[in-house]
């Protein structure tokens, strides 16, 4: 009966394979869901969803497929009015809970429709009607292992409408990152290589050499593995970037607090990179951009963060910088080209919605640097681009 659920998941772009689906069917045949839709919800999610980034899509698909459990709109207000003042009764005894009959979804829906047609008043503490505080499958503030919660708040996590709560919106790959997610993405930039003195025992080679040496111990040493990844983070601050302060702060916090890099250097600019880069957000303490290019080797991974949106003169012209702090004898576009030519791996992270990327200056920058959005999916794609060997 759940075959169409498979296609509903596909419709919501949850990547479900036939193998995973057959595993779920086998689990159902073995009784792992116990004829309980809430158990089915968690069982199906654990077997069908590969990543937490798809949890919200799964909830949307689940809610759509089982939408028949919604209370009919024409009587919803009346029923909810009855349920405004729940009965607070004592917890049920183990004997009472053991007597509660579990029902499958079809039976729950059939009985629910019957109660809606027959019920004429509020009920509390019972086992049949839509009410509160009892063991009825319908209502809230009571207990039933497979019922439909109507109104109120979930207490026993047994309502079949759990998916409607959509508690995993922040895990979606098309939403902005939190610090933890950025750290996980940046971790992939690690570049482990064996460098330094030979101070780590090569166990496999030692065993092999010892065996070939008739049992006499032959120790073999090797260089230890260390992270050789180096990151240069350049961030646009001020002006149109002010609306992205919170988001960019998360990116900076994640990069600054992680230990995945041999070296991390970060600087700030406003709108475009010019003759100077700044060590602080207020842009008082600066270093010459040319000095940075001459000092850092080309193997640094470069992430530039900015919306790229500015007046054409700010990008193309000498002395076109909007900030009085800048004295850009060299156009910003030329500095960007120098970064693209000097460093082997550069990406541009744009916190704006991609619908704004057709702006004149943004389009020019996209020709110089691969551009990605500041989302879970975007940052992962950017990191993948940075680790590709040229």
Q: Following DSSP, what letter does each residue of 190-229 receive, concatenated?
A: --EEEEEEEEEE-HHHHHHHHHHTTT-----EEEEEEE--
Residue entry with tokens 């729950």: 108
Domain boundaries, the chain: 1-172, 194-227, 228-387
Largest CA distance in the chain: 93
- As averages over each run of 10 residues, the pLDDT of the chain (390 residues) reads 85 89 89 76 88 80 71 50 57 57 59 67 64 61 55 46 55 53 66 58 86 87 71 88 78 71 86 92 88 94 92 91 84 96 95 90 95 86 82
Architecture of domain 228-387: 3-Layer(aba) Sandwich (3.40)
**What was the pLDDT predicted at 287?**
94
Model pLDDT, residue 144? 54
List the Cα angle 356/357/363 in 5-degree steps. 145
Decide the pairing of beta strands 123-124 and 131-132: parallel
Q: Residue-wise over 181-192: b if at least 16 C-beta within 10 A, else e?
A: bbbbbbeebebe
Backbone angles phi and psi of 259, in degrees to 5: -115, 30
Distance CA 229, CA 262 (A): 5
- Say if residues 321 and 333 touch (Cβ distance below 8 Å): no
Beta strands 192-201; 221-227: pairing state: antiparallel
E strands, the chain, are: 123-124, 131-132, 138-140, 148-149, 192-201, 221-227, 230-236, 263-269, 276-278, 286-288, 301-305, 345-350, 371-373
The confidence score (pLDDT) of residue 175 equals 47
Write the DSSP symbol of residue 272.
Answer: B
Provide the whole-model pTM.
Answer: 0.51
Q: What 3-state DSSP class applies to 114?
A: helix
pLDDT of residue 1: 61
Residue 341: other Cβ atoms inside 10 A: 12
Q: How many of the other CB atoms lie within 10 Å of CB of 291?
A: 11
pLDDT of residue 338: 97
Cβ neighbours of 33 (radius 10 Å): 19
């Amino acid at each position: 009966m759940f075959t169409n659920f498979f296609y509903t998941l596909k419709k919501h772009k949850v990547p479900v394979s036939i193998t995973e689906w057959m595993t779920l069917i086998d689990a159902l045949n073995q009784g792992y869901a116990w004829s309980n839709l809430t158990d089915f919800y968690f069982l199906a999610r654990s077997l069908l969803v590969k990543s937490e980034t798809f949890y919200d899509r799964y909830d949307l698909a689940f809610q759509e497929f089982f939408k028949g459990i919604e209370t009919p709109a024409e009587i919803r207000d009346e029923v909810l009015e009855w349920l405004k003042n729940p009965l607070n009764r004592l917890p049920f005894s183990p004997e009472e809970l053991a007597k509660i009959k579990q029902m499958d979804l079809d039976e729950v829906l059939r009985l629910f429709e019957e109660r809606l047609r027959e019920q004429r008043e509020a009920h509390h503490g019972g086992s049949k009607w839509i009410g509160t505080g009892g063991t009825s499958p319908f209502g809230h503030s009571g207990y039933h292992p497979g019922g439909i919660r109507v109104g109120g708040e979930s207490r026993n996590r047994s309502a079949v409408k759990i998916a409607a709560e959509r508690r995993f919106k922040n895990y979606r790959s098309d939403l902005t990152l939190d610090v933890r997610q950025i750290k996980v993405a940046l971790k992939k930039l690690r570049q482990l290589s064996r460098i330094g003195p030979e101070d780590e025992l090569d166990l496999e080679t030692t065993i092999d050499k010892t065996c070939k040496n008739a049992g006499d111990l032959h120790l073999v040493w090797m260089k230890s593995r260390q992270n050789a990844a180096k990151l240069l983070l350049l961030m646009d601050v001020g002006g149109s970037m002010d609306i992205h302060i919170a988001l960019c702060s998360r990116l900076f916090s994640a990069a600054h607090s992680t230990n995945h890099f041999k070296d991390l250097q970060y600087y700030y600019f406003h709108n475009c990179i010019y003759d100077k880069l700044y060590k602080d957000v207020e842009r008082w303490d600066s270093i010459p951009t040319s000095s940075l290019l001459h000092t850092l080797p080309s193997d640094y991974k470069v992430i530039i963060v900015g919306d790229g949106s500015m007046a054409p003169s700010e990008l193309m012209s000498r002395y076109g910088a909007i900030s009085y702090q800048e004295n850009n004898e060299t156009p910003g576009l030329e500095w960007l080209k120098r970064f693209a030519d000097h460093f082997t791996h550069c990406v541009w992270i744009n916190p704006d919605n991609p619908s704004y990327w057709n702006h004149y200056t943004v389009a020019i920058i996209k020709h110089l640097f691969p551009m990605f959005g500041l989302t879970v999916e975007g940052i992962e794609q950017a990191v993948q681009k940075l680790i590709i060997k040229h």
